[in-house]
Amino acid sequence: MLIRHVWIWAVVLMIAGFSGRHALLGDTASGDFSAPEPGPSVLYPSESFFLASDELVERFAGQETSSLARFYREDDYRLVWTDGQQLGQRGRDLLYVLESSAEYGLAPADYLPAQARDDDESSPAPYTETEIELTQGLLNLAQNIYGGRVDPSEVRGGWPFEAKRRELSVELKAAVREHDLDRALKSLEPPHEGYSRLKAALAGYRKIAASGLWKPAPAGPSLKPDMCDQRVGAVREMLVLLGDHPGRITSSGFAPLYKKNDENWELFDDRLESAVKSFQLRHGIEADGEVGPQTLAALNVPPEERIVQIELNMERWRWMPDSLEDRFVWANIPGYTLEIRNHGRLDLRMKTVVGIPGMRTPLLKSEMDYLVLNPHWNVPANIALNELVPEMKDDPNYLKDRNIRVFDRGAMGSGELSSEEIDWAEVGSDDFNYLLRQDPGPGNSLGRLKFKFPNPHGVALHDTPLKTKFEQAYRAQSHGCVRVERPWELARYVLQKATDYDPLEIEWFLSSKGTKKVHLDESLGVYFLYFTSWVDDDGRVQFRNDVYGYDKDLKRALDER
């Protein structure tokens, strides 16, 4: 561990050994808030620090506004972690805090001081450097806990919130002075339940990795219920380890339901089938209860990779604003789901279809202000050119059969044209001056309902006539908008407080070809976000494939810091 490397130089710098979590951390479990026993490394009384350092004064001359300078200026540039010759108790405690940063999903190596300096009594500079490096590590850790390690605007995908930054030096110094640093750091964490759930899941997967019990399930043909196969026992053990199958794990390993020489060891029984379905549901795989190639691949992802995946999504939570609206729509793109949260409570949940990787659904934050009953679909030019025009070249009735009309774009869509009179074989991107619009109806690509909110991408939530898409596990199949599984339920929910909401009138419009806008009296927050790991309301850790490659981009950005 990294802390072992720190000991190489820490032993040289300090006489007293590391004594665990002390008063700096505010750990009341031990009941020991006293100062260390007298000796060369003893701190001054708790309300003060070591003597002032001329070197610190000189170091920060002209840098009074920097976070480091502010930290020391609070107490007239007194040393905090060292006495100029060796680490004090606060320094040893801070080393523990920095090493423990992994519990936040962060990397201790980013915050620990540089290792190994020669003990040269003729020059106190190394100890001053150690002092400053410890403080910088603490400031960086606090800022990373609060706002993340990278600026979200610098990562592909366009996270829809600004970077969170805050001056923390003064409050951290106060926390050190009051022996309350642990609480101060935890107070900087995202206040959202989604983050705290992932943090707990991270600890669980670290235990799985540390147990040494995980091993990949053997390859082979698909395993199905009622089969007998020597690989079944290994699959069962991994599902016990991951929490999908009942069973116990002791200090000596698995306490199996069946012994390896038991005839049931190799039997794919009903209990294992239920466990496989549980695992599949947690990983966005069709829950058929069989261990096929996709399920086996997910089962064989090492826990270390899942740890990284959880850490990446904890980073995204650190990018989130501290507060959200009381009610909001939340579409998680890799999860292919839409949820409505009301004061934290889940009011509605349904499946979605999102953009294909080549036409990605954008990440955004907006507010829904109205919906459209029986919408027209103004076909985007790129879709018209790349998808509809080739069809029209082969089938002159293609547009007519789908109730799509053609207008002169130069006439602002007011001059309707006859599609039969256009030589579509000669139409290209340079002279595409047409607006294609699909009339309302059962075959309209937007279905019967469209939910509108301002955004620069022109995307919306909407119904779809292609209902079978929702039965598929992989649902990145739209042109960028988000199709919703149960639009009428969503409409009823968002229109609860609309003054012009008349259910009978809306039903009549939906059964006709009339188009109507219905405005919301109270706007509803809308978020399109990207999380490939989360913990659901039932406490199950969920993982999804990185459909747009944003996890890979984020990991690269973190590695290149």
Question: pLDDT by residue (tens digit) across 425-476?
Answer: 888 878 888 999 999 988 999 999 999 999 999 999 999 999 999 999 999 9
Q: Which of 309, 327, 305, 318 is nearest to 159 (CA)?
A: 318
Q: For residues 204 and 223, what is the distance between their CA atoms, to the nearest angstrom?
A: 28
Is pLDDT above 70 for 345?
A: yes
Give residue 541's identity as a one-letter amino acid code. V
The tokens describing 526, both together, are: 């809308």
What does the alpha-carbon distance between residue 120 and residue 118 come to, in Å, rounded to a whole number?
6
The confidence score (pLDDT) of residue 318 equals 98
Cα angle for residues 196, 197, 203 (degrees, 5° grid): 90
Alpha-carbon span 329 to 135, nearest angstrom: 41
pLDDT band with cut points at 50, 70 and 90 for residue 44: very low
Q: How large is the C-alpha radius of gyration of the chain?
A: 30
Give the least confident one: 214-218, 351-355, 500-504. Answer: 500-504
Encode pLDDT of 482-521 as tens digits. 999 999 999 999 988 777 677 777 777 777 778 989 899 8
Residue ranges matching CATH 2.40.440.10 in the chain: 324-375+446-530
Determine the 3-state secondary structure of 297 from DSSP: helix
The predicted pLDDT at position 58 comes to 80
- Tell me what the mean pLDDT of segment 67-76 comes to: 89
Q: Which helix (H) or strand (E) holds 350?
A: strand 345-355
Contact, 105 vs 196, CB < 8 A? Answer: no
Percent of the residues in the chain that have a pLDDT greater than 90, as a whole number: 66
- What's the CATH architecture for 215-301? Orthogonal Bundle (1.10)
**pLDDT reading at 117 higher than 90:** no
Please tell me the distance from the alpha carbon of residue 556 to that of residue 561, in angstroms, as a whole number: 9
Least trusted range by pLDDT, from 165-179, 365-379, 426-440, 478-492? 426-440
pLDDT score at 221: 97
Within the chain, which residue ranges are assigned CATH 1.10.101.10?
215-301
Is residue 260 very low, low, confident or very high in pLDDT (cuts 50, 70, 90)? Answer: low
Distances (CA, A) of 10 to 81, 93, 130, 141, 359: 12, 12, 10, 20, 54
Query: What pLDDT does residue 29 have?
Result: 32
Which residue bears the tokens 């609206």?
325
For the cut 80, the answer to whether the pLDDT of residue 531 exceeds it is yes
Rounded to the nearest integer, the mean pLDDT of the chain is 86
Which amino acid type is present at position 138?
L
Phi, psi of 379 (to 5 degrees): -70, 125
DSSP 546: -
DSSP conformational letter for 42: P
Q: How far is CA 417 from the centre of its chain?
A: 48
Q: Assess whether pLDDT exceeds 50 at residue 122.
A: no
d(CA 13, CA 118): 10
Can you read off the two tokens belonging to residue 138? Answer: 């603490």
Burial of 240 (0-12, 13-18, 19+ CB in 10 A): buried
Q: What is the mean pLDDT of residues 60-87?
A: 86
What's the pLDDT tens digit per position in 286-337? Answer: 999 999 999 999 999 999 999 999 999 999 999 999 999 999 999 999 999 9
CA atoms within 13 A on the CB side of 436: 22
In degrees rounded to 5, what are phi and psi of residue 112?
A: -70, 150
CATH class of 324-375+446-530: mainly beta
Helix (H) / strand (E) containing 462: strand 461-462
Question: What integer pLDDT is reported at residue 256 of this predicted model?
Answer: 60
pLDDT at 115: 55
Residue 161 pLDDT grade (very low, low, confident, very high; cuts 50, 70, 90): very high
Task: Please write the tens of the pLDDT for every residue from 391-437.
Answer: 988 888 999 999 999 998 876 556 889 888 888 888 887 888 899 99
The Cβ of residue 179 has, within 10 Å, a number of other Cβ atoms equal to 18
* Pairs from 103-109 (Cβ < 8 Å, separation ≥ 24): 103/199, 103/202, 103/203, 104/144, 104/145, 104/189, 104/199, 104/314, 105/198, 105/199, 105/202, 105/310, 105/311, 105/314, 105/315, 106/141, 106/144, 106/145, 106/149, 106/311, 108/2, 108/3, 109/2
pLDDT score at 61: 80
